[in-house]
Structure 1
Amino acid sequence: MPKVGEHLNPVIENNFMYHAPKDGQPEKYEVIREKAKELAYLIEEECPNSREKSVAMTNLETAVMWANASIARN
Structure 2
Amino acid sequence: MPNPKIENAFTYHQPKEGQPEKYEALRSKAKELACLIDELCPDSREKSLAMTKLEEASMWANASVARN
Q: Under TM normalisation by the shorter chain, which class is it?
A: over 0.9
SS of 1:65's partner is helix
Runs of 4+ in 1 over 6 A off after TM superposition: none
| Alignment root-mean-square deviation, CA | 0.5
Give the deviation of 1:67 after TM superposition.
Answer: 0.2
Higher helix share: 2
* Bigger relative contact order (CA 8 A; separation at least 6): 2
Amino acid of the residue matched to residue 2 of structure 2? L
- What is aligned with 2:62? 68
Q: Which runs of 5+ in 2 are unaligned?
A: none
Q: Which runs of 5+ in 1 are unaligned?
A: 1-6
Q: How many aligned positions are there?
A: 68
Mapped to 1, the partners of 2:41 and 2:35 lie a distance apart of 10
- What is aligned with 1:17? 11
